[in-house]
Chains A and B, each alone.
Chain A
């Protein structure tokens, strides 16, 4: 019930800011596709580079869409509007609030990815998306929504949200199997980057899209991230003394 309340709140926000949200979700990925995919026309492993790029950009969109849906919103609600107090006082179990935020954030990530899929539809790439692809997109969205929640509970001012975006999301966008393979990275650094959730999501979505299959370990890694950050966010909301 509480989960539905949070989803209703997210839905009202989505309806109100529909054009802003849609435009924001389109802008950066579209630029990447135009510049790296169409502008600089190259090939990768004998295939058009676009075929490599699109799955990465889809994974990246689930990350940025879900992260920004939760991080900015929650930081502003907690620190500026004090609207989180309304939830804290209410009898709605706080775990339901957290789960609602995670699902709501993941859905926004899915929406961002869906826009990219629609935009790239006219380019006949031959890439394949199936139920597994969408499950991985949703899971990746959940992971980043949970990370966003934890960071917004840690934030000391509502201007911290854009900083997290710059320190965490931006480097991951470029490094994690989105624009180029991690294979060319130095030993040690490659393993570290591969352990990041976006690297796994990109790799799995790309594997499915190019019919090369994917390692179920990737799903396991995403689930580990989800579990760890969920536990941290539950601890924060139940135990943090000055929320």
Chain B
């Protein structure tokens, strides 16, 4: 279990994460959502000890996570938003370095490297240096590197950013499979359909603060499970949400041809909750 207690991160006068309190259960698929600058990446960076909190703490299975907490860190693996790898290393070397940093035996390193590079279709390029890989290949290599150590907790900071639709779906399937093996996954993403499809619970963050934590289904239900979109000529798209289907259809029948009926999505929840704040700005 991961417990985040009163976690705060300040960069001089700017508060990136503000007294964040969260609990993520073992084996849970958890999403951190929020607009740009909400504090998601800062939170992930603190969970990987790359950044140290200004105050508050993170507990893994009841024990504090610090830079010297090797036992806690052994359970963790991170896929960062940026390609955090030595550019002059080959894929084989990147994997071996990771294995060595986690004290894996050489034989197991070779075996896992073979297995993971083959699974992601990178095996033929194993002698190529990171510098000479495409963006998609680098992303896949980062996934291989993170999975090399069979982590109990996987932190993913926008893992599918820049991926094509097919690769993204493959990634989703892989993450589901890993989660089914009781791996705790914490994901930040800007793709709401990704969070809706994968996450058991999501936390909505804004300006470093926690706005709401719940399941995607509950958040959608709270807003209204049915939506009617209406585009009046020359105006912006406006959506109206309804708790029951009959109500939504009745409303729809009163509108013109510019209105359409659909199910509410997590993106609607996001836009409604975060959009209001933006409008106020």
Contact = CB atoms under 8 A, between A and B. Distances in A.
User: Do the two chains bind?
Assistant: yes
B171 interface: no
Contacts of B77: 89
B85 A88 contact: no
B50 A13 contact: no
Interface stretch (A51-59, A78-86, A112-120, A129-137): A78-86
A241 interface: yes
Contacts of A91: 70-71, 73-74, 101-103
A92 interface: yes
Contact of A81 (B48, B85, B96, B102): B85
Interface stretch (B86-94, B179-187, B233-241, B247-255): B86-94
B70 A93 contact: yes
B67 interface: yes
Interface in B96-139: 96-98, 100-103
Given A86-B98, A93-B70, A13 B78 contact: no
Nearest to B142: A86
A211 interface: no
Q: Among the interface residues A2, A91, A94, which one has the most CB atoms of the partner chain B within 10 A?
A: A91
A231 to B, nearest CB: 15
If over half of B's interface residues share one DSSP class (helix, strand or loop), that class is named, otherwise mixed; here it is loop
A90 B77 CA distance: 8
A16 B127 CA distance: 13
Interface string A1-21: 110110011001100110000
Contacts of B76: 89
B48 A88 contact: yes
B272 interface: no
Contacts of A174: none
A150 to B, nearest CB: 17
A227 to B, nearest CB: 20
A234 to B, nearest CB: 10
Nearest to B45: A85
Given A92-B101, A241-B51, A82 B82 contact: yes
B110 to A, nearest CB: 14
Q: Among the interface residues A1, A12, A17, which one has the most CB atoms of the partner chain B within 10 A?
A: A12
A182 interface: no
B84 A86 contact: yes
Contact of B68 (A13, A83, A89, A93): A93
A95 to B, nearest CB: 8
Nearest to A76: B87
Interface of B: 11, 48-54, 67-68, 70-71, 73-74, 76-78, 80, 82-89, 93, 96-98, 100-103, 145
The 9 closest A-B pairs by CB, nearest first: A82-B84, A90-B101, A91-B70, A5-B100, A91-B74, A241-B52, A85-B84, A91-B73, A89-B48
